[in-house]
Structure 1
């Protein structure tokens, strides 16, 4: 007679399986809050052009902050048309743009605000034989980054007022093209921000043995503006907000705090700062020299007086090109006070 044989259980194996199930459940429980936390942290999309002021934002790309929670994503822009399309398409929450562009979108009905202003260093870079001390005396050919009636030329015209120097104007695709044309002897002056202005001077010295003209930072437009307008600072660009994502003073205040830490970090360790921005903004890092970004002089403010000075600047622009700023001056809701 055949009997069924009962195999004795193996309690060790059974307990191991139970423990594995319990651990799996515990892990799932532990991970769930982290997933929810990550989902609740909004991605803040920032953008900026290849100028020194963009470097701290590029350094922040990919970072996640708490209180308030946010993750920073940085995308560079390389032409006025590109950033205008990004803003119109709702692809950016905050960007370094000209104050005129921010005003233009404000008047077009876009939810646009300025949270901070930059006293951007802007130079007339000239060949070394230039001796003029005012814009009215410039001669030869001046190169403007970007097209007709874009900010470089608008600023030039605002400083000139009624003066009209006997100078030819040539528009280029951007600052680096203007620098290259100067080095090729196809222009006598160019209106440049940093680091392009200092980079042009440095490259001219390196290429002197190849026949390139020596260049120098000839006229400081910030100084000329203060001279012309009773000491008022020049606020050509600012950190603008678009849409409702950053309509939150606490969030913007935190972004600006991190921005200022980035400015300090650039001074303390420029090589590390460039390394942090290499993936998010290679075109800006490519302008570095000997491990630093030339000509860095970042001045950022959110003081109420700066907002008033910005309205003065926009008024000067609108007098000679009303469509560039959208017509009338923006109202008080154009500025987001974060103090």
Structure 2
């Protein structure tokens, strides 16, 4: 870790009264590969203040994009990783020995626009930019359009390689809306103010989803998956880490400013945007088995929309590791 990053982290934690035990004596590493999105903040704080850090050196590394994530899993380098919730199923159905540990957000992707959009029915004839074609933001956006009877051909969708690129293009070009995960949605609003571009939050995506699919306003977008053999060899440590994550989430919600300072080391957004994003990211910490009904319902929707995104079939019960 660079000295500058170390100092930023320890300063933020000192202000919050958190002991950075992760920087103690050298221990065997427990590395989690996180996404460049807000649930990685929960992982970072868990690693810094949790009980597992007393036994292992808990390290958070952030993957660049879903292709980087898939490559890391395929090579065997990544053993514990936050991922879009469809990716683990897809890889499992392709023969990779991975399974689900938990869900860390019930809906992290938000639609922001230059003029208010009060419902999905206002999207036709609008120009929308979305990161990660055929991955989670694209999946849920198109599924919602289809379920509500909106012809996707009438929505002018452009794809970006990453959320930060999507935000930059949205602000500088003639786009009406951008659909990005937090904290990039909040960062977009703040950056727009500096550029003289008004950006507002549009319709509540979770509520629109619930109305469309007659379900709870829950889209379990992402969580932690793990190599099956690694999980079984370290099951007790995963139990400790689960409690660390739950405690970290409470701390993050109660200490948004200090948490945001930590988050700047892992996400392409400034601290004010990260702090603003926390109430909008639907953060949670729930074992896969605890949310199995909602997760399977979500997978059924994805399977109906595009079976390839799950590798052609729903997961079996043993996909849920804990």
TM range (shorter): 0.7 to 0.9
The CA deviation at 1:196 is 0.9
User: TM-score under structure 2 normalisation?
Assistant: 0.81
Contact 2:37–2:181 (8 Å) recurs in 1: yes
Separation in structure 1 between the aligned mates of residue 52 and residue 184 of structure 2, nearest angstrom:
35
Is it true that 1:336 corresponds to 2:321 in the alignment? yes
Alignment of 1:179-190 (within 5 A): 179-190=167-178
> Structure 1 pair 135/97, CA: closer, same or farther in 2 (3 Å)?
farther
- Match of 2:294, SS state, is helix
> Structure 1 pair 218/277, CA: closer, same or farther in 2 (3 Å)?
closer
Structure-2 residue corresponding to 1:219: 203
> Structure 1 pair 295/135, CA: closer, same or farther in 2 (3 Å)?
farther
Name the count of aligned residue pairs. Answer: 289
Q: Which has the larger radius of gyration?
A: 1
The CA deviation at 1:326 is 0.7
Is it true that 1:89 corresponds to 2:75 in the alignment? yes
Q: Which structure features the higher share of helix residues? A: 2
Bigger mean CA deviation after superposition, 265-274 or 114-123: 265-274
Separation in structure 1 between the aligned mates of residue 67 and residue 53 of structure 2, nearest angstrom:
35
The CA deviation at 1:274 is 4.2
Alignment of 1:1-339 (within 5 A): 42-61=28-47, 65=51, 69-117=55-103, 118-128=105-115, 130-135=116-121, 137-147=123-133, 149-161=134-146, 162-165=149-152, 166-208=154-196, 212=197, 214-232=198-216, 233-247=218-232, 248-276=234-262, 282-284=265-267, 286-289=269-272, 293-297=275-279, 298-302=283-287, 304=289, 306-337=291-322
The CA deviation at 1:146 is 2.0
Separation in structure 1 between the aligned mates of residue 54 and residue 206 of structure 2, nearest angstrom:
36
> Structure 1 pair 285/63, CA: closer, same or farther in 2 (3 Å)?
farther
Contact 1:194–1:294 (8 Å) recurs in 2: no
Contact 2:187–2:269 (8 Å) recurs in 1: no
Separation in structure 2 between the aligned mates of residue 244 and residue 182 of structure 1, nearest angstrom:
43
Deviations 1:91-132 (A, max 9, x none): 12211111110101111222211121121332111112x444
The CA deviation at 1:65 is 4.5
The CA deviation at 1:133 is 1.3
Separation in structure 2 between the aligned mates of residue 136 and residue 309 of structure 1, nearest angstrom:
28
- Match of 2:272, SS state, is coil
Give the alignment's Cα RMSD to 1 decimal. 2.5
- Match of 2:127, SS state, is strand
- Match of 1:163, SS state, is coil
> Structure 1 pair 64/261, CA: closer, same or farther in 2 (3 Å)?
closer
The CA deviation at 1:60 is 4.3
> Structure 1 pair 305/55, CA: closer, same or farther in 2 (3 Å)?
closer
Separation in structure 2 between the aligned mates of residue 51 and residue 151 of structure 1, nearest angstrom:
12
Separation in structure 2 between the aligned mates of residue 155 and residue 276 of structure 1, nearest angstrom:
29
> Structure 1 pair 184/276, CA: closer, same or farther in 2 (3 Å)?
closer
Deviations 1:149-203 (A, max 9, x none): 2221111111122531412111112111111112113311111111111121122
Contact 2:127–2:158 (8 Å) recurs in 1: yes
Separation in structure 2 between the aligned mates of residue 151 and residue 172 of structure 1, nearest angstrom:
13
The CA deviation at 1:293 is 2.8
Separation in structure 2 between the aligned mates of residue 80 and residue 301 of structure 1, nearest angstrom:
22
> Structure 1 pair 67/137, CA: closer, same or farther in 2 (3 Å)?
closer
> Structure 1 pair 80/199, CA: closer, same or farther in 2 (3 Å)?
same
